[in-house]
Amino acid sequence: MNYYSLNYNSSLVGFLGAVRKGLAPDRGLYFPEKIPLLSEDFINNITNFSNHELALNVINPFVQNDIPKERLKSIVEETLNFDFPIIPISDSIASLELFHGPTLAFKDVGARFMARCLAYAHEVREQKKLTILVATSGDTGGAVADGFFKVEGIDVVILYPKGKVSEVQKKQLTTLGENITALEIDGTFDDCQNMVKSVFIDPEITKNIALTSANSINIARWLAQMFYYFIAYKNRPNPRKELIVSVPSGNFGNLCAGLVAHKMGLPIKHFIACTNINDTVPRYLDSGNYEPKKSISTISNAMDVGDPSNFIRIQKLFNNDFQKLKKEVSGYAFTDPQTRKAIKEIHTKSKYIADPHGALSYLGLKTYLEGLEEDTAQGIFFETAHPIKFAPTVEATLKLKIDLPKQIEKVLDKPSLSIPISDYKSLKDFFLTR
Give per-residue pLDDT as tens, 211-246.
Answer: 888 878 899 999 999 999 999 999 999 999 999 999
pLDDT band per the 50, 70, 90 thresholds, residue 126 = low
Q: What whole-number distance in Å separates Cα of residue 9 and Cα of residue 11?
A: 7
Residues 61, 36 contacting (CB under 8 angstroms): yes
Q: What is the pLDDT of residue 295?
A: 87
Q: What whole-number distance in Å separates Cα of residue 61 and Cα of residue 38?
A: 10
Residue 354 scores a pLDDT above 80: yes
**DSSP state, residue 171:** H
pTM above 0.85, yes or no: yes
Interacting residues of 72 by C-beta distance below 8 A, sequence separation 6+: 56, 59, 60, 63
Q: What is the pLDDT of residue 381?
A: 98
Residues 382, 109 contacting (CB under 8 angstroms): no
Q: Which of 1-5, 116-120, 347-351 is the least confident region?
A: 116-120
Cα–Cα separations (whole angstroms), residue 206 to 131, 197, 211:
10, 12, 7
Q: What is the pLDDT of residue 353?
A: 97
Instruction: Classify domain 86-102+222-404 at the CATH topology level.
Output: Rossmann fold (3.40.50)
Domain boundaries, the chain: 86-102+222-404
